[in-house]
Amino acid sequence: MDYRQAGVDLHGAAEAQRRIAERARTTFNPSVLSSIGTFGALFQPDFSSYREPVLVASTDGVGTKIHVAVAAGRHDTVGYDLVSHCINDILVQGATPLFFMDYVAVGRLDPGTVDAVVEGVARACREFGCPLIGGETAEMPGTYAPGDYDLAGFIVGVVERDRVLTGSRVREGDLLLALPSSGLHTNGYSLARKVLLEAMGRDVHSVLPTGETVAEALLAPHRCYLPALGPLLDAGRLRAMAHVTGGGIPGNLPRVLPAGLGACVRREAWTPPELFLLIQREGRIDEEEMFATFNMGVGMILVVAPEELGNVQRNLESRSEGSTLIGSVVAGAGVSFV
Chain contacts with a copy of itself (rule: CB under 8 A): 4, 7, 9, 11, 33, 36-45, 47, 52-61, 63-64, 66-67, 89-90, 92-93, 95, 98-99, 101-103, 105, 133-136, 138, 140-144, 148, 150, 152, 154-157, 161, 164, 166-168, 190, 243, 245-246, 255-256
**DSSP result, 149-188:** EEEEEEEEEEEEGGG---STT--TT-EEEEEE-SSSTTS-
Nearer to a copy of itself, 63 or 297 (CB): 63
Between 111 and 273, name the residue whose CB sits nearer to a copy of itself.
111
The 3-state DSSP class for residue 191 equals helix
Encoded amino acid at 36, one letter: I
Give the residue with the Cβ less far from a copy of itself, 123 or 243: 243
Residue 100 CB, shortest distance to a copy of itself, in Å, is 10
**Using CA of residue 91, residue 95, residue 97, residue 101, what is the dihedral sign?**
negative
Shortest distance (Å) from residue 284 CB to a copy of itself: 22
Instruction: Please state the closest distance from residue 286 (CB atom) to a copy of itself, in A.
Output: 20
Complex with a copy of itself: residue 45 or 236, whichever CB lies closer: 45
Q: What's the rounded Cα separation, in Å, for the pair 222 and 183?
A: 7
- We find the least distance from the C-beta atom of residue 159 to a copy of itself, in angstroms, to be 8
Closer by beta carbon to a copy of itself, 93 or else 315: 93
Tell me which residue of 28, 11, 301, 21 sits closest to 170, measured CA to CA. 301
Minimum Å distance from CB 199 to a copy of itself? 16
Nearer to a copy of itself, 153 or 183 (CB): 153
Q: In the bound complex, what is the minimum distance in angstroms from residue 271's beta carbon to a copy of itself?
A: 27
CA 206/CA 215 separation, integer angstroms = 8
- CA angle, residues 95, 132, 8, in degrees to nearest 5: 135
Residue 231: which of 91, 21, 27, 31 has the closest Cα? Answer: 91
